[in-house]
Amino acid sequence: MVKRYLELRALEESITLIKGMFPAPGLTEKVPVVKSVGRVVAVPVYAKYSVPEVNIAAMDGIAVRSRDTISASDRNPVTLVQFTRVNTGNIVPPEYDAVIMIEDVWEAGERFQIRKSAVPWQHVRPAGEDIKENKLILPRGHLIRPFDIGALVTYGITTIDVLSVNIGIIPTGSELVPLGVRPGPGQVVESNTVMAQVFLSEMGANCTRYSIVPDEPDEIRKTLMKAVEENDLVLISAGSSAGTRDFTESVIRSLGDLVFHGVAVKPGKPVMLGKIEGIPVLGLPGYPLAAQTVLREFAAPLLESWGFPAVPHYTVRVRLAHPLTSDLGFDEFVPIFVGRIGSTLFGTPHGKGAFAQMATVKANGYTHIPAPVEGYEAGTELDVVLTTDPGSIERTVILTGSLDPALEELASLAHDTGLFIHATNPGNLSGIRALCTNSCHAAPLVLPAQSFLPTYQPLMQCKDAEDLAFVHIASVEIGIASIDGLGLHDLLQARFINTRKETPSRTVLDAVFAAEGIDPALLNGYTQEVHGPPAVAAAIRNGFADAGICTSSIAKSNGLRFVPLAHEDYELAFRMKMINDSRIRTLISLIQSPQFSAILKKSGGHDTSITGSIRRLDSTRTLSPFSPGSIPVGYP
């Protein structure tokens, strides 16, 4: 029997509910001032003493009693009997209330003569000028910053009472192994509570992570009860979906009240809120991105309502590089990578679904799509909350197109120079589109040999196509993979497995068929498409098909035989105007470095004979060298 969510509340309503139900626990702790950065002042901090504590001379001169100077004038110089020499910063003794600058004083033996009266406090930094004893330094609620420490120390503060809260975090799941243990088949490392601990500790919480509890209701109940007794807030990870082994809801019900289970938010829909002995119990979904949403959108606002510092929300306005769909009725949070091309910030949505955990790692922000919105067109302007320093955006180059292991090697070299590479793999056509619309810095493209032209068509149609240039990264052989070493004309007698339309290998295949006069309709399996060369090789290896089109290196690594048909050029396409961007220049010089060719040769599968040559599209739609001399261009 599949359980259903009891109710699906709106996100805003559920956050309001959680913030309204649980008053601040009001826990404080005393920390040394040097450990107080990032914490929130719980008890107002007052100066221990005045600074300066006594009057201080603000000029070099003599300290005097102002009343002794009243009658002094040019016509009536006064010779002072009582005075003392002071330099800037010296104490002005208590019997004096003014300082006369040394320039305004005439020596008269061991005494001084003045010709102008001194107003009380003239050139004196009075006691308490910086701060007076018992005056407020930091109010309750102030988030302590590094430069606040100077003032605190100066004014005599050694410890501070800061807000504190105890949070218990319980991982549940029989498939979990703890950090440091290598998971066996079907096991996963318990990571969500580690992430929760780190995230909440950064906000100033004391977190206790309990041991992993298997999917046993009694075990869960026992640990949850203990956690509720020991903490101000309890997070229980997973077991909150609607599966048969999800016991969190029933355990909460058995110990206290279930406030809600299920909120119209994605990811994070199975989020759960309970109340046990007055303590909030928040159920984290098991999917990492769902857990992140619940930490950020539920746990953090609750802590904020208790006075903890908000996770900083620095928002930038970006132009969406690709369309972004969203489920109507759900508040949705999508990882976004923000990059700058020229003066425009572009936002690239990052994978929902697969690669989810890496999506957050590769993104540097996220956007919130409100429930009534079904999605956005490419080009829409929207707000993105950054998760990195905006400065890192300027050090990142955005590559959109077809990824190849060669690009990973290049990225690795780039990272060593301090240049970040943000590469996405939507394929050749999307890469060309991004290049044409200036929403990437450069497009890594797999271009088939020049006699097979279709891939060049969209490039030629690109606005300002004459401005496009191509740095050769490597050459890749493409051909027929099979167990038996089948050739082109053997395919009519074999079970074939195809790749998707518009992939470079498919383009080559169709062009070869056309050139050779082979009707693809006659091929058994021509309409059966898998994702790309790795899936083709796997299908052949598994006996599902006899042959398919593949790269030489992938065929070989799968133990298949390989008959070459053509070669592909792996090129980094960019706009010539980008050559002024230091990031692009760095990238090109890295491609042209002997180090890069050496790495490619070592890893195998790539021909590097013209790596680094720069070419342009000519009127015959072929790549021609345009910067002869700089790189030997001995292309066959």
Task: Among 17, 31, 49, 488, indicate the residue that binds its own copies (CB under 8 A).
Answer: 49
Single-letter code of the amino acid located at 375: G
CB-wise, 450 or 524, nearer to its own copies?
Answer: 524
In 241-378, DSSP assigns E strands to 257-261, 265-266, 272-276, 279-284, 315-320, 324-325, 331-341, 344-349, 365-369, 375-376
Task: Among 434, 474, 530, 549, indicate the residue that binds its own copies (CB under 8 A).
Answer: 530
CB-wise, 333 or 470, nearer to its own copies?
Answer: 333
* Per-residue mark of binding to its own copies, 340-379 (x: CB under 8 A): --------------xxxxx-xx------------------
List 477's β-bridge partners, or say none: 567
Number of residues that bind its own copies (CB under 8 A): 102
Residues 303-332 that bind its own copies (CB under 8 A): 307, 309-310, 312-314
- Shortest distance (Å) from residue 628 CB to its own copies: 35
Tell whether residue 33 is a contact of its own copies (CB under 8 A). yes
CB-wise, 127 or 623, nearer to its own copies?
Answer: 127
- Shortest distance (Å) from residue 338 CB to its own copies: 14
Task: Among 192, 326, 503, 552, indicate the residue that binds its own copies (CB under 8 A).
Answer: 192
Task: Among 16, 21, 25, 66, indicate the residue that binds its own copies (CB under 8 A).
Answer: 66
Q: Which two tokens stand for residue 625?
A: 């060298």
User: If DSSP codes are grouped into helix, strand and coil, which group holds residue 540?
Assistant: helix
Tell whether residue 179 is a contact of its own copies (CB under 8 A). yes
- Shortest distance (Å) from residue 127 CB to its own copies: 10
Tell whether residue 204 is a contact of its own copies (CB under 8 A). no
Tell whether residue 197 is a contact of its own copies (CB under 8 A). yes
- Shortest distance (Å) from residue 184 CB to its own copies: 8
Residues 458-497 that bind its own copies (CB under 8 A): 495, 497
CB-wise, 440 or 530, nearer to its own copies?
Answer: 530
Tell whether residue 416 is a contact of its own copies (CB under 8 A). yes
CB-wise, 333 or 562, nearer to its own copies?
Answer: 333
Task: Among 17, 21, 25, 140, indicate the residue that binds its own copies (CB under 8 A).
Answer: 140
Whose tokens are 């990031």? That residue is 583
Residues 571-610 that bind its own copies (CB under 8 A): none
Query: Is 196:283 a contact under the CB 8 Å cutoff?
Result: no
Tell whether residue 412 is a contact of its own copies (CB under 8 A). yes
User: If DSSP codes are grouped into helix, strand and coil, which group holds residue 125?
Assistant: strand
Q: What phi and psi values does residue 142 have, to the nearest 5 degrees?
A: -75, 135
Task: Among 5, 210, 420, 470, indicate the residue that binds its own copies (CB under 8 A).
Answer: 420
Whose tokens are 């599949």? That residue is 2
Q: Which two tokens stand for residue 599?
A: 């790495």
Q: Which helix (H) or strand (E) holds 248?
A: helix 248-255
Q: In whole angstroms, what is the distance from residue 623 CA to residue 365 CA?
A: 38
Q: What phi and psi values does residue 429 have, to the nearest 5 degrees?
A: -65, -45
Residues 89-128 that bind its own copies (CB under 8 A): 90-91, 97, 119-121, 125
Sheet with 61-64, edge to edge strand ranges? 84-86, 61-64, 98-101
Task: Among 27, 31, 151, 373, indicate the residue that binds its own copies (CB under 8 A).
Answer: 151
Pairing outcome for strands 547-551 and 420-424: unpaired
Task: Among 20, 109, 186, 636, indicate the residue that binds its own copies (CB under 8 A).
Answer: 186
Pairing outcome for strands 496-499 and 529-530: parallel
- Shortest distance (Å) from residue 461 CB to its own copies: 33
Angle at 122 between CA 116 and CA 127, to 5 degrees: 155
- Shortest distance (Å) from residue 532 CB to its own copies: 11
Helix axes 582-591 and 405-416, enclosed angle (nearest 10): 120
Residues 385-404 that bind its own copies (CB under 8 A): 387-392
Tell whether residue 501 is a contact of its own copies (CB under 8 A). no
Q: How many CB atoms lie within 10 A of CB 486?
A: 19
The 3-state secondary structure of 287-305, one letter per residue: CHHHHHHHHHHHHHHHHHH
| Piece of the chain touching its own copies by CB under 8 A; list 215-223, 270-278, 540-548, 549-557 | 540-548
Q: In whole angstroms, what is the distance from residue 415 CA to residue 418 CA?
A: 5
Q: Which two tokens stand for residue 285?
A: 């979904």
Length of the chain: 636
Tell whether residue 247 is a contact of its own copies (CB under 8 A). no
Q: How many CB atoms lie within 10 A of CB 365?
A: 24
Task: Among 129, 133, 581, 607, indicate the residue that binds its own copies (CB under 8 A).
Answer: 129
| Piece of the chain touching its own copies by CB under 8 A; list 7-15, 285-293, 342-350, 371-379 | 285-293
Q: In whole angstroms, what is the distance from residue 413 CA to residue 397 CA?
A: 13
CB-wise, 128 or 217, nearer to its own copies?
Answer: 128
Tell whether residue 554 is a contact of its own copies (CB under 8 A). no
Q: Which two tokens stand for residue 136?
A: 């407020």
User: If DSSP codes are grouped into helix, strand and coil, which group holds residue 544?
Assistant: coil
Task: Among 11, 80, 138, 290, indicate the residue that binds its own copies (CB under 8 A).
Answer: 138
CB-wise, 135 or 577, nearer to its own copies?
Answer: 135
State the sign of the Cα–Cα–Cα–Cα dihedral 188, 422, 457, 404: negative
